Amino acid sequence: MAIECLVLGAGQDVGKSCVIVKINGKSIMFDCGIHTGYQDHRRYPDFSLISANSGDFTDSLSCIIITHFHLDHIGALPYFTQVCGYNGPIYMTYPTKALAPIMLEDYRKLIFEGREEEKQFSSEDIAECMKKVTAVDLKQTIQVDKDLQIRAYYAGHVIGAAMFYAKVGDSAMVYTGDYNMTADRHLGAAQIDRLQLDLVITESTYATSYRDSKYVREREFLKVVHNCVAGGGKVLIPTFALGRAQELCMILDDYWEKTNLKVPIYFSADSFSGLTLQANMYYKILINWTSQKVKDTYTTRNPFDFKNVCSFDRSLIHAPGPCVLFATPAMISGFSLDVFKLWAPDERNLVTLTGYCGSGTIGRKLMVAKPPTRITLDDNVQLDVRCQIYQLSFSPHTDAKGIMDLVKFLSPKHVILVHGEKPKMVKLKEIIESELEIPCYHPANHETLHIPSTRRIEASASDAFLQSCLCPNFKFLKTDPRQDSELDDDSNNKRKMPQLQVCENRVAQGLLITLQKNQSRKVVTENELIDTIGTEIHEEKFAYCCPIYFPNSESRDISSFHLILFGKLSREFPDLNIQDCEDVIRIQSFVGSFCSKAKCPYRTDVSFQSVLDTVHFCCAWSMGDEELAWRVISTMKNLKLSDRIET
């Protein structure tokens, strides 16, 4: 059995997240995003790879799972359902279902409006598509069909974002989507159970960066903003309407309250759909999906009721005096670009860039620019940028440590990295493989990976085995202290384990046998094994007929000789239990007795002397006691005269 993983988007890239995972015959599409950096067909994932033969997506896929409402995770969904004709089940969380249509509509207007020839899907399509969606709650287990189970876990990142767990038979995996491992002002940290997993597909946006403490980040941001407005400048914060905007609003609102600043903060309402207007309202409703801290304070005050934030009117762009403006979209285009064009030439002003900016966007250009500079807006327009540029380290994505923490916590058998840039992915992959010893992959788009998964075998169990499973049956093992490495001597990755260890037999001990009759499998206990397979025990034994030099052996009887031997052995091996019964000496599995046979098959040295002063002692032992047996034999062979006198 193997898990088959086809990456349609976000393989060594950020944008159009889409991964098809086939576990035990069930295909699941995780995310169905759009690439905002492209205007042509590359904008969508190449769906044709899903069902090369049939062309029927509904049959090929068991379900689609959308992790959150960002366009690079959901943007292509209406196209896939309405244009490509997928008709199967779609799962997403409640907030995602509520907010997705607004995001999609916003995008549709921005891109397709006025370009009828390019139009890919309409408002109706979005509405129709959303009708097919089944909303799920956190930690709610959904039985998609007989074999496939999915479950959502809180992911932080944006409101309603979830990680998804999928299980078919005994193979299980988690697709993280985008997530955040530390709580911010308004959203909590990702929360997931410790699961038995074959595969984790994780985002890796910040595969190599390590973030500072939240307090440091906030302090820096506030300092920059305060300095700007104190100097009479205007602050432009281009941002997504949902997510970062709310967090920054909370920070600023709080700060304004404390320092009693009177500078206006505007939340731009000047968007195509009025998305921003609704955004804050949604946050107020979806308190349950926010961080624990917000939930705690919610009882006294809704933290999304901003006291110092008011909506923006376009006429205010030219208004004199300092202000702070949140404008969509984040990577500076549309409205935020309009404002930017006007404010950028003034050196008192400030543009703060939040989070990730895709390549080719103005945001990305500003990231690398050092004002005063001149940047190219489009083919023939250039803009003087004199304002200050501040890059915020606020991001809803987890950093490298967070990814490592999650992977370590889940400890899956395999890890796949998506949603990141290749060089960074390579580095992270190396760390995961070296530090956690988990095989890790970073497939490119359209690449398929095969990952071995848990093999499931059905077997019946014998009554005795079941019975033995019921009662505790543990024992203690003591390891050799010589193997115990010193505290600082574990450079060669030696396992520093305690000398004493507990071992629970009922969990460990059972034998899986395949019965030849009907190829059925059965688990039995060790005792039952022989009966079940109907054979006899074959034991390997060693034997040696040992000559012992013993002068005047005829004159003595065998029993006195026996006593001498017994005495000698008891002295030599004081810590062994030496049994002496009926002329047979037993030491563990070693058995020895006098051999009167003239032609013993185990006799190797036939000498003339043997007739006179040598007696033969025939020994047999099993493999485990070989070392002991030879020690005993060599002792017997070296029987000295003095030993005899003593006895």
Partner 1 sequence: MEHRLLADVVSKLGKFPILSPKLTDAALSLITNPFTSDETLTSLLETLVAHLQNPDINHAILFSLLSALSNHHPRLRRRISAAAHAFVLLPTTATPTLPHALSLIEPAEPTPFDPFSDESMFLSLCFWQCVKTRRWTLRNVSKFHVRPSVFLTVLLGLTKDPYPYIREAALDGLVMLSNGGIVVDDRSLIECCYFRSVELLFDAENSVRCSAVRAVSAWGQLLVALSPDKTKADWSDALFVQLCLMVRDREMEIRVAAFSALGNIRTVSEDILMLTLAKKALSGTNEKTFPGQYTAKLFKLPATAAVFIFVNGLEDEFYQVRKSACHAVKKMTVLSAKFAGEVVYILMQILNEDSVVVRLQALQTLHHMAMHDHLKVEESHLDMFFGALVDGNALIRSAARKTIQLTKFQKLAMFRSCIDVLIKNLELCPQDEADVFYALYKIGRSHGKFVTKIIHEVSQELEPSPYGKLGFTKVRTIALLVLAISAPVSLERQISTIRPEIYSYAVTLLGRLTRGLGGLTDQNALLDYLSHCSRFTVGSTSESFGEVLDFHLKDSYFQLQKRSGKISSLFFLCQRNLPPHSCLLNFHVSETTCVEIVFQKIVDLWPLIQLGCMNEVIRTLRSWKEELQFFSLDSRPPAGVLVFALKYLHVIKLLGKAWACYFSKRNLHFNGIGILEALLCKTERRLKEMLHRFTGLSRGVEMHILELMLVTYTLRLPYGGGTIFFEDYTSKVNSVFCRVENLGKEESTQPFPFLIDLQNISHEIGNSRDGFIHKPELLQKSLNLFSLKQIVVSEKLDYLDAEIDVFDNDFQNPLPFISGLPVGIPFDITLHNISLGTRLWLAITDGEKSTQFVFLDLHEFGGCNEIRKSAFVAPFFRTPKVKHFVLKVSVVMECLSEGQHSKHLNGPKQNFIYLSNGKEIHLSTAEK
Catalytic residue annotation: 203
* Residue 372: cis peptide before it, omega within 30 degrees of 0: yes
Instruction: In angstroms, give the least distance from the CB of 463 to partner 1.
Output: 13
* Integer Cα distance of 578 and 585 in angstroms: 7
Residues 6+ positions from 592 with CB-CB distance below 8 Å: 546, 584, 585, 586, 617, 618, 619, 620, 632, 636
* Integer Cα distance of 177 and 73 in angstroms: 8
581 binds partner 1 (CB under 8 A): no
* Integer Cα distance of 416 and 423 in angstroms: 15
Instruction: In angstroms, give the least distance from the CB of 392 to partner 1.
Output: 17
- 204 close to 12: Cβ distance less than 8 angstroms: no
Report the 10 Å Cβ neighbour count for 638: 12
170 binds partner 1 (CB under 8 A): no
Instruction: In angstroms, give the least distance from the CB of 235 to partner 1.
Output: 21
196 binds partner 1 (CB under 8 A): yes
- 636 close to 546: Cβ distance less than 8 angstroms: yes
Instruction: In angstroms, give the least distance from the CB of 403 to partner 1.
Output: 12
Q: Which is nearer to partner 1, 393 or 635 (CB)?
A: 393
**Of the residues 119, 305, 474, 638, which one makes contact with partner 1 according to CB under 8 A:** 474
471 binds partner 1 (CB under 8 A): yes
Q: Which is nearer to partner 1, 436 or 600 (CB)?
A: 436
Q: Which is nearer to partner 1, 304 or 312 (CB)?
A: 304
**Of the residues 273, 278, 393, 411, which one makes contact with partner 1 according to CB under 8 A:** 411
CA 572 to chain CA mean position, Å = 58
**Of the residues 368, 378, 380, 498, which one makes contact with partner 1 according to CB under 8 A:** 498
Q: Kind and range of the H or E element at 522? A: strand 521-524
The stretch among 17-25, 166-174, 348-356, 474-482 that binds partner 1 (CB under 8 A) is: 474-482
Ranges of H-type helices in 132-243 = 214-230
210 binds partner 1 (CB under 8 A): yes
**Of the residues 213, 380, 518, 555, which one makes contact with partner 1 according to CB under 8 A:** 213
Report the 10 Å Cβ neighbour count for 27: 20
* Integer Cα distance of 422 and 427 in angstroms: 9
The stretch among 71-79, 85-93, 490-498, 517-525 that binds partner 1 (CB under 8 A) is: 490-498
The stretch among 21-29, 405-413, 537-545, 585-593 that binds partner 1 (CB under 8 A) is: 405-413
Q: Which is nearer to partner 1, 426 or 438 (CB)?
A: 438
214 binds partner 1 (CB under 8 A): yes
391 binds partner 1 (CB under 8 A): no
Query: How is the beta sheet containing 133-136 ordered, strand by strand?
Result: 133-136, 90-93, 63-65, 26-30, 18-23, 2-9, 448-452
* DSSP result, 289-353: GS-HHHHHHHTT--TTS-SSEEEE-GGGGG--S-EEEEES-TTS-HHHHHHHHHHTT-TT-EEEE
Q: Which is nearer to partner 1, 216 or 319 (CB)?
A: 216
638 binds partner 1 (CB under 8 A): no
* Integer Cα distance of 204 and 417 in angstroms: 6
Instruction: In angstroms, give the least distance from the CB of 493 to partner 1.
Output: 6
299 binds partner 1 (CB under 8 A): no
Q: Which is nearer to partner 1, 436 or 533 (CB)?
A: 436
Q: Which is nearer to partner 1, 498 or 601 (CB)?
A: 498
Instruction: In angstroms, give the least distance from the CB of 114 to partner 1.
Output: 44
**Of the residues 49, 195, 511, 628, which one makes contact with partner 1 according to CB under 8 A:** 195
Beta bridge partners of 391: 353
392 binds partner 1 (CB under 8 A): no
480 binds partner 1 (CB under 8 A): no
The stretch among 20-28, 57-65, 192-200, 369-377 that binds partner 1 (CB under 8 A) is: 192-200
**Of the residues 42, 226, 284, 293, which one makes contact with partner 1 according to CB under 8 A:** 293
Q: Which is nearer to partner 1, 199 or 236 (CB)?
A: 199
The stretch among 116-124, 186-194, 419-427, 514-522 that binds partner 1 (CB under 8 A) is: 186-194
- 617 close to 594: Cβ distance less than 8 angstroms: yes
**Angle value at C-alpha 542, between 537 and 543, nearest 5 degrees:** 125
**Of the residues 52, 368, 381, 500, which one makes contact with partner 1 according to CB under 8 A:** 500
The stretch among 104-112, 130-138, 377-385, 494-502 that binds partner 1 (CB under 8 A) is: 494-502
507 binds partner 1 (CB under 8 A): yes
* Binders of partner 1 in range 219-248 (CB under 8 A): 219
**Using CA atoms in the order 326, 329, 332, 337, what is the torsion angle rounded to 10 degrees?**
-70
Q: Kind and range of the H or E element at 567? A: helix 558-572
Instruction: In angstroms, give the least distance from the CB of 495 to partner 1.
Output: 4
**Angle value at C-alpha 159, between 363 and 19, nearest 5 degrees:** 75
583 binds partner 1 (CB under 8 A): no
Q: Which is nearer to partner 1, 62 or 246 (CB)?
A: 246
Residues 6+ positions from 303 with CB-CB distance below 8 Å: 186, 250, 294, 297
Ranges of H-type helices in 50-168 = 57-60, 71-74, 77-78, 94-112, 123-131
278 binds partner 1 (CB under 8 A): no
502 binds partner 1 (CB under 8 A): yes
- 186 close to 247: Cβ distance less than 8 angstroms: yes
**Of the residues 131, 262, 495, 599, which one makes contact with partner 1 according to CB under 8 A:** 495
**Using CA atoms in the order 426, 430, 436, 439, what is the torsion angle rounded to 10 degrees?**
70
**Of the residues 60, 171, 176, 291, which one makes contact with partner 1 according to CB under 8 A:** 291
* Integer Cα distance of 240 and 462 in angstroms: 61
* Binders of partner 1 in range 415-454 (CB under 8 A): 435-437
Q: Kind and range of the H or E element at 608? A: none
Residues 6+ positions from 93 with CB-CB distance below 8 Å: 68, 135, 136, 137, 138, 152, 160, 161, 162, 289
- Nearest Cα to Cα of residue 133 among 177, 103, 83, 98: 98
Residues binding partner 1: number (CB under 8 A):
56
Q: Which is nearer to partner 1, 295 or 586 (CB)?
A: 295
493 binds partner 1 (CB under 8 A): yes
* Integer Cα distance of 209 and 399 in angstroms: 6
Q: Which is nearer to partner 1, 456 or 496 (CB)?
A: 496
Applying CB under 8 A, the residues found at the interface with partner 1 are 182-183, 188-196, 210-215, 219, 258, 291-293, 296-297, 401, 405, 408-409, 411, 435-437, 469-472, 474-476, 478, 487-488, 490, 493, 495-504, 506-507
